[in-house]
Structure 1
Amino acid sequence: MTKLYGSVEAGGTKFVCAVGDENFQVVEKVQFPTTTPYETIEKTVAFFKRYEADLVGVAIGSFGPIDIDENSETYGYITKTPKPNWSNVDLVGLIAKDFKVPFYFTTDVNSSAFGEAMVRKGVDSLVYYTIGTGIGAGAIQRGEFIGGTGHTEAGHVYVAPHPHDIAHEFTGVCPFHKGCLEGMAAGPSLEARTGIRGELIEKNSDVWDVQAYYIAQAAVQATLLYRPQVIVFGGGVMAQEHMLRRVRDKFAALMNGYLPVPDLSDYIVTPAIAENGSATVGNFALAKKVSER
């Protein structure tokens, strides 16, 4: 029997669904916009139905907040999300009811962190941040996810404001918190400050240094809290090469030699898996893990 593993990367903008073989090689991958829950979940189920005979497990990495407590009445739900129409949606239940295989449920950034740790030789302690439309982070410690009754929400920690933002009384774009990391450094904050979409802003604009200041604070927090071997920054904002250099420079200044860390070119990096494939690889491995329980 051919064993196939399923991956759902449930993002606020798009869903990426894939099936992979026992070597975690992609057999097929599709993506479609995240519209209404009904329409999006229907497309997800239809994709996996074509592989149902060989499917042995599926992992879902979702935007959040989500309920990952298997003893909770709302396990598998997307909870209080700013994504319109998606609060209190039973994501796992609505997909899993059509299949007779086990499901693993976690955050999209946890899936990415797991995938990145898998492909980095000798790494079992890693933090992965997505810096895009929103900000989230997944942390791996000795091969296991950090989290207790729920997953971490590192995108909503408060950060020290940049002098530019103090002067302009900018408190971010997060609908829940004023001055949190996501509100100050996610992609929409660029347009909120400048009136220009991030991809159209010149590379020499001072706004990138403001952005890097907040992202570097995230790296400092990850270093102080988790002491990881590697910090990976993915997402659209970090896809620009100049941002990695800016973040490393700001990190060095903020850390000020307080703790020993690896060479920054090896410590603060972008994903090792190309084309935003970290979550897919991580989900294949998590699907295998749940299938073998």
Structure 2
Amino acid sequence: MLGAIEAGGTKFVCGLGNEHGEIIERESFSTTTPDETMGQVVRFFENKKVEAIGIGSFGPVDLNKKSPTYGYVTTTPKPHWNQYPILQELQKHIHVPIGFDTDVNAAALGEAQWGAAKGLDSCVYVTIGTGIGAGAIVEGKLLHGLLHPEMGHIPVKRHPEDKYAGNCPYHQDCLEGVAAGPAIEKRWSQKGHNLQQNDQVWEFEAYYLAQAVTHLIYILSPKKIILGGGVMKQKQLFPLIHDQVTQMLNGYVQMDELVSGIDRYIVSPGLGDNAGLSGALLLAKHELLQL
């Protein structure tokens, strides 16, 4: 039995499953203070006989195993979680191998193994919800580097009619600052699910997300782009993004996936809401195999 934790900025999901990605048990709860939230995590795994656990965490996080702050959530704007040692806290209470990566890298891993990118050696998974983040598989491996992909904070060109200043505490009008769920709510004074009939809301949103997708195509050239998270539950976004990406590429990349199959190239998660949790099972399995 393997354990999995999808540590999101809004909610944590804990689960039990197997190496085939099957989720046997799951429980979710709101992300509050570290003490309260991690207490619930520890209680979930108490008396559960797991061989290893995988954590996919909201970030930024430190993934450098040689760093003194490996396993920390670092410069997050989320209250109370800045510089929090999430991995070490779990290790205090649960004495099994623990794999650790970003929540979006875990989701990309799950989608590449069992979901929308199954059989492909590259993909990008982007979540658009409380924040925006992305994980990438490149030539069969998770993409790491100086830090890890932080694609949610790329600069984007403002929509000509958008007067909202943006709400990222670091960059104001980066992608996350203008296109994440809180930005939609602050711009329009209502949550996105109450704005389904307002075409301008989704025109703005598609304009920003299409820029991000276009950047990903040019920089990483993935074989599949998967858009998940709460905002993408608005299914009317997909055809708008497909159209905008086509316009932005303007015929420059002549690949069938982009010319005639863009609706099969930019897609929703094949694993649905289980992408992150399934990927965390793989992180657990990989950690176990390294012993």
Task: Quote the RMSD (CA, aligned, Å).
Answer: 1.2
Q: Which one has more relative contact order, counting CA pairs under 8 Å at least 6 apart?
A: 2
The answer to whether the aligner puts 1:13 opposite 2:10 as a matched pair is yes
User: So what's the TM-score if we normalise by structure 1?
Assistant: 0.94
Partner of 1:154: 151
Letter aligned with residue 264 of structure 1:
I
* Equivalent in 242, 262, 265 of residue 263 of structure 2: 265
The answer to whether the aligner puts 1:33 opposite 2:30 as a matched pair is yes
Deviations 1:55-88 (CA, angstroms, capped at 9, x unpaired): 1111111111111110000000111111101111
Aligned partners of 2:95, 2:185: CA distance in 1, in Å? Answer: 45
Partner of 1:290: 287
Q: Is the 8 A contact 1:137 1:155 kept in 2?
A: yes
Q: Is the 8 A contact 2:113 2:119 kept in 1?
A: no
Partner of 2:183: 189
The answer to whether the aligner puts 1:69 opposite 2:95 as a matched pair is no
Partner of 1:212: 206
Aligned partners of 1:22, 1:202: CA distance in 2, in Å? Answer: 39
Q: Give the gaps of 5 or more residues in structure 2.
A: none
Aligned partners of 2:26, 2:102: CA distance in 1, in Å? Answer: 19
Aligned partners of 1:136, 1:65: CA distance in 2, in Å? Answer: 10
Percent of aligned pairs with the same amino acid? 44
Partner of 2:121: 124
CA, structure 1 residues 99+202, in 2 after alignment: closer, same or farther (shift >3 Å)? closer
What is the aligned residue count? Answer: 284
Deviations 1:7-58 (CA, angstroms, capped at 9, x unpaired): 111111111000112432112100111111011111101111221xx31111
Q: Is the 8 A contact 2:19 2:282 kept in 1?
A: no
Question: Offset at 1:196?
Answer: 1.6
SS at match of 2:28: strand
Aligned partners of 1:217, 1:22: CA distance in 2, in Å? Answer: 36
Q: Is the 8 A contact 2:56 2:276 kept in 1?
A: yes
* Equivalent in 158, 169, 177 of residue 171 of structure 2: 177
Q: Is the 8 A contact 2:53 2:97 kept in 1?
A: yes
Letter aligned with residue 62 of structure 2:
D
Question: Offset at 1:204?
Answer: 4.1
* Equivalent in 228, 239, 247 of residue 241 of structure 2: 247
Q: Give the gaps of 5 or more residues in structure 1.
A: none
Query: After the TM superposition, which of the residue ranges 245-254 and 98-107 deviates more from structure 2?
Result: 98-107
Q: Is the 8 A contact 1:203 1:242 kept in 2?
A: no
Letter aligned with residue 190 of structure 1:
I
SS at match of 1:128: strand
Question: Offset at 1:122?
Answer: 2.0
Runs of 4+ deviating beyond 2 Å: 21-24, 202-205
Partner of 1:256: 250
